[in-house]
Chains A and B, each alone.
Chain A
Amino acid sequence: MGQVKSNLKYKRYMENAIAYFLIAISILVFLGPILYIISCSFKNLYQITTTPPIWFVWPPNLQSYVRVLTPEVAKEWGLRIPAGIDFPEYLTNSLIVCFGATGLAISVSLLAAYSMARWRTGGDNLRGYYLSLYMLPPAIFVVPLYILFKFYNLLDTQIGLILPYSVFNMPLAVLVLESFIRDLDVTLEEAAWIDGCSKLGTLTRITLPLIMPGIVATAILTFVTCWNEFMIAFLFTGGGKATTLTVGVAKFITGYGIWYSEIAAASTITLIPMIILFMLVQKYLVKGLTLGALKG
Protein backbone atom coordinates (compact mmCIF):
# COMPACT_ATOMS: atom_id res chain seq x y z
CA MET A 1 0.00 0.00 0.00
CA GLY A 2 2.76 2.40 0.92
CA GLN A 3 4.49 1.50 -2.34
CA VAL A 4 1.36 2.40 -4.36
CA LYS A 5 0.97 5.69 -2.51
CA SER A 6 4.55 6.74 -3.10
CA ASN A 7 4.21 5.71 -6.75
CA LEU A 8 1.18 7.95 -7.08
CA LYS A 9 3.04 10.78 -5.40
CA TYR A 10 5.96 10.27 -7.74
CA LYS A 11 3.63 10.29 -10.73
CA ARG A 12 1.99 13.52 -9.63
CA TYR A 13 5.40 15.05 -9.02
CA MET A 14 6.58 14.09 -12.49
CA GLU A 15 3.39 15.45 -14.06
CA ASN A 16 3.82 18.79 -12.36
CA ALA A 17 7.44 18.92 -13.45
CA ILE A 18 6.40 18.32 -17.09
CA ALA A 19 3.66 20.94 -16.76
CA TYR A 20 6.14 23.49 -15.43
CA PHE A 21 8.56 22.67 -18.21
CA LEU A 22 5.97 23.09 -21.00
CA ILE A 23 4.58 26.27 -19.46
CA ALA A 24 8.07 27.71 -19.17
CA ILE A 25 8.75 26.93 -22.83
CA SER A 26 5.46 28.48 -23.92
CA ILE A 27 6.16 31.67 -21.97
CA LEU A 28 9.63 31.82 -23.46
CA VAL A 29 8.17 31.51 -26.95
CA PHE A 30 5.45 34.11 -26.33
CA LEU A 31 7.65 36.65 -24.59
CA GLY A 32 10.97 35.98 -26.34
CA PRO A 33 10.31 38.18 -29.39
CA ILE A 34 9.04 41.02 -27.21
CA LEU A 35 11.98 40.86 -24.80
CA TYR A 36 14.41 40.76 -27.69
CA ILE A 37 12.91 43.92 -29.21
CA ILE A 38 12.99 45.69 -25.85
CA SER A 39 16.66 44.77 -25.55
CA CYS A 40 17.19 46.07 -29.11
CA SER A 41 15.98 49.48 -27.99
CA PHE A 42 19.11 49.72 -25.79
CA LYS A 43 21.52 48.69 -28.54
CA ASN A 44 23.42 50.60 -31.14
CA LEU A 45 23.24 49.68 -34.81
CA TYR A 46 26.27 47.40 -34.61
CA GLN A 47 24.86 45.43 -31.68
CA ILE A 48 21.59 44.92 -33.52
CA THR A 49 23.02 43.79 -36.82
CA THR A 50 25.71 41.50 -35.46
CA THR A 51 25.42 37.72 -35.28
CA PRO A 52 25.14 35.76 -33.05
CA PRO A 53 22.34 37.93 -31.64
CA ILE A 54 22.95 39.74 -28.37
CA TRP A 55 20.07 39.23 -25.92
CA PHE A 56 21.33 41.38 -23.11
CA VAL A 57 23.24 44.63 -23.45
CA TRP A 58 25.24 46.28 -20.71
CA PRO A 59 25.69 49.19 -20.37
CA PRO A 60 22.34 50.12 -21.99
CA ASN A 61 22.55 52.71 -24.72
CA LEU A 62 19.81 55.32 -24.33
CA GLN A 63 20.55 57.20 -27.54
CA SER A 64 17.61 55.76 -29.44
CA TYR A 65 15.24 56.91 -26.67
CA VAL A 66 16.72 60.39 -26.91
CA ARG A 67 16.26 60.35 -30.69
CA VAL A 68 12.67 59.18 -30.39
CA LEU A 69 11.40 61.17 -27.42
CA THR A 70 13.33 64.43 -27.69
CA PRO A 71 14.42 65.05 -31.30
CA GLU A 72 15.42 68.61 -30.33
CA VAL A 73 17.90 67.44 -27.72
CA ALA A 74 19.22 64.80 -30.10
CA LYS A 75 19.89 67.51 -32.66
CA GLU A 76 21.78 69.56 -30.09
CA TRP A 77 23.88 66.53 -29.23
CA GLY A 78 24.71 66.11 -32.88
CA LEU A 79 22.89 62.79 -33.23
CA ARG A 80 21.49 61.89 -36.61
CA ILE A 81 17.69 61.75 -36.52
CA PRO A 82 15.24 60.50 -39.13
CA ALA A 83 13.69 63.40 -41.04
CA GLY A 84 10.00 64.18 -40.81
CA ILE A 85 9.27 62.12 -37.72
CA ASP A 86 7.90 63.86 -34.66
CA PHE A 87 7.28 61.18 -32.08
CA PRO A 88 6.21 63.52 -29.22
CA GLU A 89 3.49 64.86 -31.49
CA TYR A 90 2.28 61.33 -32.29
CA LEU A 91 2.16 60.65 -28.57
CA THR A 92 0.01 63.74 -27.99
CA ASN A 93 -2.24 62.76 -30.90
CA SER A 94 -2.67 59.25 -29.56
CA LEU A 95 -3.51 60.54 -26.10
CA ILE A 96 -6.07 63.07 -27.38
CA VAL A 97 -7.68 60.63 -29.81
CA CYS A 98 -7.83 57.74 -27.34
CA PHE A 99 -9.17 59.79 -24.44
CA GLY A 100 -11.69 61.47 -26.74
CA ALA A 101 -12.87 58.24 -28.32
CA THR A 102 -13.03 56.38 -25.00
CA GLY A 103 -14.97 59.20 -23.34
CA LEU A 104 -17.44 59.44 -26.20
CA ALA A 105 -17.85 55.68 -26.57
CA ILE A 106 -18.32 55.01 -22.87
CA SER A 107 -20.74 57.86 -22.18
CA VAL A 108 -22.96 57.01 -25.14
CA SER A 109 -22.70 53.26 -24.62
CA LEU A 110 -23.53 53.42 -20.93
CA LEU A 111 -26.96 54.88 -21.70
CA ALA A 112 -27.66 52.27 -24.36
CA ALA A 113 -26.33 49.44 -22.20
CA TYR A 114 -28.49 50.49 -19.25
CA SER A 115 -31.61 50.64 -21.37
CA MET A 116 -30.85 47.27 -22.94
CA ALA A 117 -30.01 45.57 -19.67
CA ARG A 118 -33.02 46.79 -17.71
CA TRP A 119 -35.85 46.89 -20.26
CA ARG A 120 -34.50 44.68 -23.02
CA THR A 121 -34.89 47.64 -25.35
CA GLY A 122 -34.51 46.57 -28.95
CA GLY A 123 -34.22 42.93 -27.89
CA ASP A 124 -32.06 40.59 -29.88
CA ASN A 125 -32.17 42.75 -32.99
CA LEU A 126 -30.40 45.65 -31.36
CA ARG A 127 -27.78 43.34 -29.91
CA GLY A 128 -27.33 41.83 -33.37
CA TYR A 129 -26.89 45.33 -34.76
CA TYR A 130 -23.97 45.97 -32.41
CA LEU A 131 -22.53 42.52 -33.00
CA SER A 132 -22.64 43.00 -36.77
CA LEU A 133 -20.52 46.08 -36.36
CA TYR A 134 -17.99 44.03 -34.39
CA MET A 135 -17.93 41.11 -36.82
CA LEU A 136 -17.71 42.97 -40.12
CA PRO A 137 -14.14 43.97 -40.97
CA PRO A 138 -13.56 47.74 -40.58
CA ALA A 139 -11.99 47.72 -44.07
CA ILE A 140 -15.42 47.77 -45.69
CA PHE A 141 -16.56 50.75 -43.61
CA VAL A 142 -13.32 52.58 -44.21
CA VAL A 143 -13.83 53.21 -47.93
CA PRO A 144 -17.23 54.97 -47.61
CA LEU A 145 -16.07 56.81 -44.51
CA TYR A 146 -12.92 57.99 -46.27
CA ILE A 147 -15.02 59.51 -49.05
CA LEU A 148 -17.39 61.15 -46.58
CA PHE A 149 -14.54 62.59 -44.50
CA LYS A 150 -12.85 63.83 -47.67
CA PHE A 151 -16.00 65.87 -48.38
CA TYR A 152 -16.14 67.32 -44.88
CA ASN A 153 -12.36 67.85 -44.61
CA LEU A 154 -12.12 65.51 -41.65
CA LEU A 155 -9.22 63.44 -42.97
CA ASP A 156 -6.02 63.81 -40.97
CA THR A 157 -7.78 65.47 -38.04
CA GLN A 158 -8.18 64.22 -34.49
CA ILE A 159 -11.99 64.41 -34.72
CA GLY A 160 -11.77 62.32 -37.87
CA LEU A 161 -10.20 59.56 -35.79
CA ILE A 162 -12.23 60.02 -32.62
CA LEU A 163 -15.53 59.46 -34.47
CA PRO A 164 -14.71 56.12 -36.13
CA TYR A 165 -12.77 54.89 -33.08
CA SER A 166 -15.67 55.52 -30.73
CA VAL A 167 -18.15 53.93 -33.13
CA PHE A 168 -16.08 50.83 -33.86
CA ASN A 169 -15.59 50.34 -30.11
CA MET A 170 -19.26 50.73 -29.30
CA PRO A 171 -20.12 47.03 -29.68
CA LEU A 172 -17.47 46.20 -27.08
CA ALA A 173 -18.50 49.03 -24.76
CA VAL A 174 -22.26 48.46 -25.01
CA LEU A 175 -22.24 44.68 -24.69
CA VAL A 176 -19.65 44.54 -21.92
CA LEU A 177 -21.32 47.32 -19.91
CA GLU A 178 -24.67 45.61 -20.42
CA SER A 179 -23.34 42.41 -18.94
CA PHE A 180 -21.95 44.32 -15.97
CA ILE A 181 -25.31 46.02 -15.37
CA ARG A 182 -27.15 42.74 -15.76
CA ASP A 183 -24.98 41.15 -13.08
CA LEU A 184 -26.08 43.89 -10.71
CA ASP A 185 -29.04 43.29 -8.43
CA VAL A 186 -32.04 45.30 -9.62
CA THR A 187 -33.70 45.78 -6.20
CA LEU A 188 -31.87 49.00 -5.32
CA GLU A 189 -32.94 50.55 -8.60
CA GLU A 190 -36.50 49.38 -8.10
CA ALA A 191 -36.54 51.11 -4.74
CA ALA A 192 -35.39 54.30 -6.44
CA TRP A 193 -38.10 54.01 -9.11
CA ILE A 194 -40.77 53.52 -6.48
CA ASP A 195 -39.51 56.63 -4.69
CA GLY A 196 -40.12 58.52 -7.92
CA CYS A 197 -36.63 58.71 -9.34
CA SER A 198 -36.51 58.99 -13.13
CA LYS A 199 -34.79 56.38 -15.29
CA LEU A 200 -31.86 58.64 -16.06
CA GLY A 201 -31.68 59.73 -12.41
CA THR A 202 -31.54 56.12 -11.26
CA LEU A 203 -28.74 55.41 -13.67
CA THR A 204 -26.60 58.33 -12.54
CA ARG A 205 -27.37 58.17 -8.80
CA ILE A 206 -27.68 54.43 -8.09
CA THR A 207 -26.28 52.29 -10.89
CA LEU A 208 -23.29 54.36 -11.95
CA PRO A 209 -21.47 54.27 -8.60
CA LEU A 210 -22.22 50.55 -8.23
CA ILE A 211 -20.76 49.50 -11.59
CA MET A 212 -17.84 51.92 -11.48
CA PRO A 213 -15.26 49.08 -11.54
CA GLY A 214 -16.98 47.66 -14.62
CA ILE A 215 -17.01 51.06 -16.31
CA VAL A 216 -13.32 51.60 -15.58
CA ALA A 217 -12.47 48.14 -16.92
CA THR A 218 -14.50 48.72 -20.09
CA ALA A 219 -12.95 52.16 -20.54
CA ILE A 220 -9.46 50.69 -20.23
CA LEU A 221 -10.24 47.99 -22.79
CA THR A 222 -11.63 50.60 -25.17
CA PHE A 223 -8.62 52.81 -24.61
CA VAL A 224 -6.17 50.01 -25.37
CA THR A 225 -8.08 49.00 -28.51
CA CYS A 226 -7.99 52.61 -29.76
CA TRP A 227 -4.33 52.99 -28.88
CA ASN A 228 -3.47 49.84 -30.83
CA GLU A 229 -5.61 50.66 -33.88
CA PHE A 230 -3.59 50.95 -37.06
CA MET A 231 -5.63 50.68 -40.24
CA ILE A 232 -7.93 53.68 -39.86
CA ALA A 233 -5.14 55.85 -38.49
CA PHE A 234 -2.84 54.84 -41.33
CA LEU A 235 -5.39 55.40 -44.10
CA PHE A 236 -7.00 58.57 -42.76
CA THR A 237 -3.94 60.45 -41.58
CA GLY A 238 -1.54 59.18 -44.21
CA GLY A 239 1.29 59.97 -41.80
CA GLY A 240 0.22 63.63 -41.59
CA LYS A 241 -0.34 65.92 -38.64
CA ALA A 242 -2.86 63.67 -36.81
CA THR A 243 -0.62 60.58 -36.98
CA THR A 244 -0.96 58.28 -33.98
CA LEU A 245 1.71 56.12 -32.37
CA THR A 246 1.10 52.85 -34.23
CA VAL A 247 1.49 54.64 -37.55
CA GLY A 248 4.37 56.70 -36.19
CA VAL A 249 6.37 53.59 -35.30
CA ALA A 250 6.02 52.28 -38.85
CA LYS A 251 7.40 55.62 -40.10
CA PHE A 252 10.85 54.65 -38.85
CA ILE A 253 10.93 52.30 -41.83
CA THR A 254 11.97 54.94 -44.35
CA GLY A 255 12.86 54.81 -48.01
CA TYR A 256 16.51 55.35 -47.09
CA GLY A 257 16.80 52.70 -44.44
CA ILE A 258 15.26 51.20 -41.36
CA TRP A 259 15.97 52.78 -37.97
CA TYR A 260 16.03 49.52 -36.08
CA SER A 261 16.82 50.62 -32.54
CA GLU A 262 14.48 53.62 -32.90
CA ILE A 263 11.66 51.28 -33.97
CA ALA A 264 12.41 49.20 -30.90
CA ALA A 265 12.50 52.24 -28.59
CA ALA A 266 9.31 53.74 -30.04
CA SER A 267 7.55 50.36 -29.79
CA THR A 268 8.66 49.91 -26.20
CA ILE A 269 7.34 53.34 -25.24
CA THR A 270 4.05 52.55 -27.00
CA LEU A 271 3.45 49.11 -25.58
CA ILE A 272 4.60 49.29 -21.95
CA PRO A 273 1.64 51.45 -20.77
CA MET A 274 -0.81 49.13 -22.56
CA ILE A 275 0.66 46.07 -20.89
CA ILE A 276 0.28 47.77 -17.51
CA LEU A 277 -3.34 48.71 -18.30
CA PHE A 278 -4.18 45.15 -19.37
CA MET A 279 -2.64 43.82 -16.15
CA LEU A 280 -4.83 46.20 -14.16
CA VAL A 281 -8.02 44.83 -15.71
CA GLN A 282 -6.83 41.24 -15.71
CA LYS A 283 -9.91 40.15 -13.77
CA TYR A 284 -12.29 41.49 -16.41
CA LEU A 285 -10.20 40.66 -19.45
CA VAL A 286 -12.02 37.49 -20.49
CA LYS A 287 -15.41 39.12 -20.10
CA GLY A 288 -14.27 42.20 -21.98
CA LEU A 289 -12.61 40.45 -24.87
CA THR A 290 -15.59 38.17 -25.45
CA LEU A 291 -18.03 41.12 -25.30
CA GLY A 292 -19.56 39.88 -22.07
CA ALA A 293 -20.42 36.48 -23.54
CA LEU A 294 -18.35 34.74 -20.88
CA LYS A 295 -17.80 35.64 -17.27
CA GLY A 296 -14.18 36.27 -16.39
Chain B
Amino acid sequence: MRRKFLDAKYFMILPSIGLILLVTIFPFIFTINLSAYSLYGTYDPIPEKFVGLSNYMSSLTDPKLYESIEVTITYTAAATLLEFVIGLGLAILMNRPLRFKRILIPLYIVPMAIAPAIYGTFWTILLNLEFGVVPYYFRSLLGIDIRPLNMANALWTLVFIDTLQWTPFVFLILYAALQSLPAEPFESAIVDGASRFQIFRHITLPLLSPAMGIAILFRSIGAYKAFDTIMVLTGGGPGLSTTSISYYVYRIFFLGFDVGKGCALTLIIGMALFYIFIGIRSLYRRILTWGK
Protein backbone atom coordinates (compact mmCIF):
# COMPACT_ATOMS: atom_id res chain seq x y z
CA MET B 1 0.00 0.00 0.00
CA ARG B 2 1.29 3.44 -0.90
CA ARG B 3 1.97 5.72 2.03
CA LYS B 4 -0.13 8.81 1.71
CA PHE B 5 1.29 12.04 2.98
CA LEU B 6 -2.09 13.72 3.10
CA ASP B 7 -3.47 11.08 5.39
CA ALA B 8 -6.46 11.79 7.64
CA LYS B 9 -4.32 11.01 10.66
CA TYR B 10 -2.29 14.17 10.07
CA PHE B 11 -5.37 16.30 9.55
CA MET B 12 -6.73 15.07 12.86
CA ILE B 13 -3.91 16.55 14.92
CA LEU B 14 -3.81 19.83 13.00
CA PRO B 15 -6.65 21.71 14.77
CA SER B 16 -5.20 21.13 18.20
CA ILE B 17 -1.64 22.00 17.20
CA GLY B 18 -2.90 25.06 15.35
CA LEU B 19 -4.79 26.30 18.40
CA ILE B 20 -1.83 25.74 20.67
CA LEU B 21 0.50 27.58 18.29
CA LEU B 22 -1.98 30.44 18.07
CA VAL B 23 -2.19 30.89 21.82
CA THR B 24 1.35 30.06 22.93
CA ILE B 25 4.07 30.34 20.29
CA PHE B 26 2.58 33.06 18.08
CA PRO B 27 2.25 35.63 20.91
CA PHE B 28 5.87 34.97 21.86
CA ILE B 29 6.96 36.46 18.54
CA PHE B 30 5.43 39.78 19.61
CA THR B 31 7.22 39.45 22.90
CA ILE B 32 10.66 39.02 21.32
CA ASN B 33 10.22 42.31 19.52
CA LEU B 34 8.89 44.19 22.55
CA SER B 35 11.63 42.87 24.83
CA ALA B 36 14.16 45.04 22.98
CA TYR B 37 12.42 48.30 23.94
CA SER B 38 12.12 50.26 27.14
CA LEU B 39 8.35 50.53 27.46
CA TYR B 40 6.14 51.41 30.40
CA GLY B 41 2.43 50.75 30.11
CA THR B 42 2.39 50.81 26.32
CA TYR B 43 2.44 47.93 23.88
CA ASP B 44 3.54 49.78 20.74
CA PRO B 45 7.27 49.61 20.05
CA ILE B 46 8.62 53.16 19.91
CA PRO B 47 11.86 53.40 17.85
CA GLU B 48 13.48 55.95 20.19
CA LYS B 49 13.07 53.60 23.10
CA PHE B 50 15.09 50.81 21.50
CA VAL B 51 17.50 49.45 24.11
CA GLY B 52 18.73 46.19 22.59
CA LEU B 53 19.55 43.58 25.16
CA SER B 54 19.55 45.78 28.24
CA ASN B 55 16.16 44.42 29.41
CA TYR B 56 17.69 40.97 29.45
CA MET B 57 20.72 42.26 31.35
CA SER B 58 18.64 44.03 33.97
CA SER B 59 16.40 40.97 34.37
CA LEU B 60 19.32 38.64 34.85
CA THR B 61 21.14 40.92 37.28
CA ASP B 62 18.04 41.58 39.38
CA PRO B 63 18.52 39.90 42.77
CA LYS B 64 14.72 39.73 43.12
CA LEU B 65 14.62 37.17 40.32
CA TYR B 66 16.93 34.86 42.24
CA GLU B 67 15.02 35.45 45.45
CA SER B 68 11.80 34.44 43.72
CA ILE B 69 13.49 31.33 42.32
CA GLU B 70 14.59 30.47 45.84
CA VAL B 71 11.07 30.99 47.18
CA THR B 72 9.62 28.79 44.42
CA ILE B 73 12.12 26.00 45.05
CA THR B 74 11.57 26.09 48.83
CA TYR B 75 7.80 26.10 48.42
CA THR B 76 7.82 23.30 45.84
CA ALA B 77 10.22 21.07 47.76
CA ALA B 78 8.57 21.55 51.15
CA ALA B 79 4.99 21.15 49.90
CA THR B 80 5.79 18.11 47.74
CA LEU B 81 7.73 16.40 50.52
CA LEU B 82 5.01 16.96 53.13
CA GLU B 83 2.23 15.90 50.78
CA PHE B 84 4.15 12.81 49.75
CA VAL B 85 4.95 11.64 53.27
CA ILE B 86 1.44 12.22 54.65
CA GLY B 87 -0.22 10.88 51.49
CA LEU B 88 1.86 7.71 51.56
CA GLY B 89 1.08 7.20 55.24
CA LEU B 90 -2.65 7.59 54.65
CA ALA B 91 -2.58 5.27 51.64
CA ILE B 92 -0.89 2.55 53.70
CA LEU B 93 -3.37 3.09 56.56
CA MET B 94 -6.29 2.79 54.17
CA ASN B 95 -4.88 -0.24 52.37
CA ARG B 96 -6.48 -2.80 54.66
CA PRO B 97 -9.97 -4.22 54.88
CA LEU B 98 -11.76 -1.42 56.69
CA ARG B 99 -15.46 -0.82 56.81
CA PHE B 100 -16.90 2.51 55.54
CA LYS B 101 -14.19 2.81 52.86
CA ARG B 102 -16.81 3.65 50.27
CA ILE B 103 -17.80 6.67 52.33
CA LEU B 104 -14.33 7.66 53.52
CA ILE B 105 -12.45 7.80 50.21
CA PRO B 106 -14.79 10.25 48.43
CA LEU B 107 -14.34 12.61 51.39
CA TYR B 108 -10.67 12.97 50.46
CA ILE B 109 -11.66 14.19 47.00
CA VAL B 110 -13.45 17.26 48.36
CA PRO B 111 -10.44 19.59 48.90
CA MET B 112 -9.10 18.92 45.40
CA ALA B 113 -12.35 20.03 43.78
CA ILE B 114 -12.05 23.53 45.24
CA ALA B 115 -10.45 26.35 43.27
CA PRO B 116 -7.09 27.20 44.88
CA ALA B 117 -8.00 30.89 44.73
CA ILE B 118 -11.19 30.24 46.69
CA TYR B 119 -9.42 27.90 49.09
CA GLY B 120 -6.95 30.73 49.64
CA THR B 121 -9.73 33.21 50.46
CA PHE B 122 -10.99 30.73 53.06
CA TRP B 123 -7.76 31.25 54.90
CA THR B 124 -8.15 35.01 55.01
CA ILE B 125 -11.09 34.22 57.30
CA LEU B 126 -9.55 31.26 59.11
CA LEU B 127 -6.24 33.01 59.79
CA ASN B 128 -7.69 36.37 60.81
CA LEU B 129 -5.75 37.48 63.88
CA GLU B 130 -8.79 38.74 65.79
CA PHE B 131 -11.40 36.05 65.23
CA GLY B 132 -9.82 33.41 62.96
CA VAL B 133 -10.22 29.80 64.03
CA VAL B 134 -6.55 28.87 63.73
CA PRO B 135 -5.04 31.71 65.80
CA TYR B 136 -7.88 31.30 68.33
CA TYR B 137 -7.17 27.62 68.98
CA PHE B 138 -3.43 28.23 69.07
CA ARG B 139 -4.07 30.86 71.72
CA SER B 140 -6.63 29.01 73.79
CA LEU B 141 -5.31 25.44 73.59
CA LEU B 142 -1.56 25.92 73.25
CA GLY B 143 -1.16 29.41 74.66
CA ILE B 144 0.84 30.53 71.61
CA ASP B 145 0.19 33.81 69.85
CA ILE B 146 0.84 33.02 66.20
CA ARG B 147 1.41 35.44 63.35
CA PRO B 148 0.79 33.17 60.36
CA LEU B 149 1.36 35.82 57.70
CA ASN B 150 4.42 37.66 58.96
CA MET B 151 7.81 37.69 57.24
CA ALA B 152 9.07 34.51 58.84
CA ASN B 153 5.89 32.44 58.62
CA ALA B 154 4.06 33.47 55.45
CA LEU B 155 5.82 31.02 53.13
CA TRP B 156 5.33 28.13 55.56
CA THR B 157 1.66 29.05 55.96
CA LEU B 158 1.31 28.80 52.18
CA VAL B 159 3.09 25.43 52.21
CA PHE B 160 0.71 24.28 54.94
CA ILE B 161 -2.33 25.39 52.91
CA ASP B 162 -1.01 23.67 49.79
CA THR B 163 -0.46 20.52 51.85
CA LEU B 164 -3.99 20.59 53.24
CA GLN B 165 -5.44 20.91 49.77
CA TRP B 166 -3.27 18.49 47.80
CA THR B 167 -2.23 15.68 50.14
CA PRO B 168 -5.43 13.84 49.13
CA PHE B 169 -4.15 13.88 45.55
CA VAL B 170 -1.01 11.95 46.53
CA PHE B 171 -3.15 9.71 48.72
CA LEU B 172 -5.53 8.84 45.87
CA ILE B 173 -2.72 8.00 43.45
CA LEU B 174 -0.81 5.84 45.92
CA TYR B 175 -3.92 4.17 47.26
CA ALA B 176 -5.07 3.24 43.75
CA ALA B 177 -1.58 1.90 43.02
CA LEU B 178 -1.50 -0.11 46.27
CA GLN B 179 -4.88 -1.62 45.48
CA SER B 180 -3.76 -2.74 42.04
CA LEU B 181 -0.52 -4.43 43.16
CA PRO B 182 -0.34 -8.14 42.30
CA ALA B 183 -0.93 -10.48 45.26
CA GLU B 184 1.62 -13.21 44.38
CA PRO B 185 4.86 -11.55 45.59
CA PHE B 186 3.24 -10.78 48.95
CA GLU B 187 1.93 -14.32 49.37
CA SER B 188 5.29 -15.90 48.63
CA ALA B 189 7.04 -13.47 50.97
CA ILE B 190 4.66 -14.39 53.78
CA VAL B 191 5.29 -18.07 53.07
CA ASP B 192 9.03 -17.39 53.22
CA GLY B 193 8.53 -15.79 56.63
CA ALA B 194 9.41 -12.20 55.75
CA SER B 195 8.66 -9.60 58.41
CA ARG B 196 6.20 -6.82 57.67
CA PHE B 197 8.94 -4.23 57.40
CA GLN B 198 10.89 -6.47 55.01
CA ILE B 199 7.80 -6.92 52.86
CA PHE B 200 7.26 -3.18 52.79
CA ARG B 201 10.90 -2.37 52.07
CA HIS B 202 11.60 -5.04 49.46
CA ILE B 203 8.25 -5.63 47.77
CA THR B 204 5.78 -2.77 48.31
CA LEU B 205 8.24 0.09 47.80
CA PRO B 206 9.77 -1.15 44.53
CA LEU B 207 6.36 -2.06 43.09
CA LEU B 208 4.98 1.30 44.14
CA SER B 209 7.87 3.39 42.84
CA PRO B 210 6.36 4.32 39.44
CA ALA B 211 3.23 5.64 41.15
CA MET B 212 5.34 7.45 43.73
CA GLY B 213 7.41 9.04 40.98
CA ILE B 214 4.29 10.23 39.22
CA ALA B 215 2.72 11.56 42.42
CA ILE B 216 5.87 13.55 43.21
CA LEU B 217 6.21 14.78 39.62
CA PHE B 218 2.62 16.02 39.35
CA ARG B 219 2.61 17.61 42.77
CA SER B 220 5.84 19.49 42.13
CA ILE B 221 4.48 20.73 38.81
CA GLY B 222 1.37 21.95 40.60
CA ALA B 223 3.42 23.57 43.36
CA TYR B 224 5.84 25.52 41.21
CA LYS B 225 2.99 26.95 39.17
CA ALA B 226 1.54 28.37 42.41
CA PHE B 227 -0.02 31.79 41.98
CA ASP B 228 -3.64 31.81 43.09
CA THR B 229 -3.24 31.32 46.85
CA ILE B 230 -0.29 33.72 46.92
CA MET B 231 -2.32 36.31 45.08
CA VAL B 232 -5.35 36.21 47.37
CA LEU B 233 -3.59 35.58 50.66
CA THR B 234 -0.22 37.33 50.82
CA GLY B 235 0.17 39.31 47.61
CA GLY B 236 3.76 38.08 47.39
CA GLY B 237 4.64 39.65 50.70
CA PRO B 238 5.59 40.61 53.28
CA GLY B 239 8.56 41.94 51.36
CA LEU B 240 9.42 39.31 48.80
CA SER B 241 9.03 36.41 51.20
CA THR B 242 6.25 34.70 49.19
CA THR B 243 7.00 36.01 45.70
CA SER B 244 7.14 32.93 43.48
CA ILE B 245 8.40 33.09 39.89
CA SER B 246 4.86 33.38 38.54
CA TYR B 247 4.10 36.16 41.00
CA TYR B 248 7.37 37.92 40.20
CA VAL B 249 6.46 38.06 36.50
CA TYR B 250 3.06 39.43 37.50
CA ARG B 251 4.70 42.05 39.69
CA ILE B 252 7.02 43.31 36.96
CA PHE B 253 4.57 43.22 34.07
CA PHE B 254 1.13 43.87 35.55
CA LEU B 255 1.91 45.87 38.67
CA GLY B 256 5.08 47.63 37.51
CA PHE B 257 3.82 48.21 33.92
CA ASP B 258 7.39 47.43 32.81
CA VAL B 259 6.43 45.90 29.46
CA GLY B 260 9.92 45.57 28.01
CA LYS B 261 11.41 43.91 31.06
CA GLY B 262 8.31 41.76 31.56
CA CYS B 263 8.69 40.41 28.03
CA ALA B 264 12.41 39.78 28.46
CA LEU B 265 11.77 38.06 31.77
CA THR B 266 9.05 35.87 30.28
CA LEU B 267 11.36 34.77 27.50
CA ILE B 268 14.23 34.03 29.89
CA ILE B 269 12.07 32.01 32.30
CA GLY B 270 10.28 30.30 29.42
CA MET B 271 13.54 29.19 27.82
CA ALA B 272 15.08 28.09 31.14
CA LEU B 273 12.01 26.10 32.12
CA PHE B 274 11.79 24.58 28.66
CA TYR B 275 15.25 23.08 29.03
CA ILE B 276 14.47 21.95 32.55
CA PHE B 277 11.33 20.40 31.11
CA ILE B 278 13.34 18.42 28.56
CA GLY B 279 15.33 17.02 31.49
CA ILE B 280 12.19 16.22 33.47
CA ARG B 281 10.66 14.58 30.43
CA SER B 282 13.41 12.03 30.13
CA LEU B 283 12.97 11.39 33.85
CA TYR B 284 9.22 11.03 33.35
CA ARG B 285 9.78 8.51 30.58
CA ARG B 286 12.08 6.53 32.83
CA ILE B 287 9.43 6.57 35.57
CA LEU B 288 6.82 5.29 33.12
CA THR B 289 9.03 2.45 31.92
CA TRP B 290 10.12 1.42 35.42
CA GLY B 291 9.38 -2.17 36.16
CA LYS B 292 8.08 -2.83 32.66
Chain A interface (Cβ < 8 Å from any Cβ of B): 15-16, 19-20, 22-23, 26-27, 29-31, 33-34, 36-37, 40, 48-53, 104, 108-109, 111-112, 114-116, 118-119, 121-122, 124, 126, 128-129, 131-148, 150-151, 163-164, 166-167, 170, 174, 198-200, 224, 227-231, 234-235, 245-247, 249-250, 253, 258, 260, 263-264, 267, 270-271, 274-275, 277-279, 282, 285-286, 289-290, 293-296
Contacts and interface: CB of A to CB of B under 8 A. Distances in A.
B58 to A, nearest CB: 16
B93 A290 contact: no
B195 interface: no
Contact of B114 (A133, A228, A250, A285): A228
A144 B94 CA distance: 46
Contacts, number: 279
A26 to B, nearest CB: 6
Contacts of A115: 8-10, 12-13
A53 B131 contact: yes
A139 B19 contact: no
Given A30-B110, A289-B169, A290-B214, A144 B30 contact: yes
Contacts of A296: 176
B69 to A, nearest CB: 12
A147 B29 CA distance: 11
Given A108-B16, A132-B277, A260 B117 contact: no
Point out which of A37, A143, A295 has the most chain B C-beta atoms below 10 A from its C-beta: A143
A140 B8 contact: no
A16 B98 contact: yes
29 contacts: A23-B93, A27-B108, A30-B107, A31-B110, A34-B110, A108-B16, A111-B15, A115-B10, A131-B281, A137-B225, A137-B245, A147-B30, A147-B259, A151-B30, A164-B23, A198-B8, A224-B113, A230-B228, A246-B117, A246-B118, A250-B121, A263-B121, A270-B118, A275-B109, A275-B113, A282-B106, A282-B109, A290-B214, A294-B211
Given A258-B124, A294-B177, A53 B277 contact: no
Nearest to A225: B115
A112 B13 contact: yes
A242 B288 CA distance: 41
B227 A139 contact: yes
Nearest to A37: B122
A27 B229 CA distance: 22
B61 interface: no
Contacts of A126: 13
- Complex A-B, nearest 10 residue pairs according to Cβ-Cβ distance, in ascending order: A144-B27, A228-B115, A230-B117, A139-B246, A115-B12, A199-B8, A278-B113, A111-B12, A112-B16, A148-B27
Interface residues of B, number: 94
A294 B140 contact: no
Given A279-B106, A285-B172, A19 B96 contact: yes
A121 B9 contact: yes
A27 B270 CA distance: 39
A133 B98 contact: no
Point out which of A114, A128, A231, A253 has the most chain B C-beta atoms below 10 A from its C-beta: A231
B57 interface: no
Contacts of A166: 19
A16 B96 contact: yes
B46 interface: no
B200 interface: no
A134 B284 CA distance: 13
Nearest to A149: B27
B79 interface: no
A260 B116 CA distance: 18
B131 A263 contact: no
A143 B249 CA distance: 8
B287 to A, nearest CB: 8
A126 B281 CA distance: 12
Contacts of A129: 17, 20
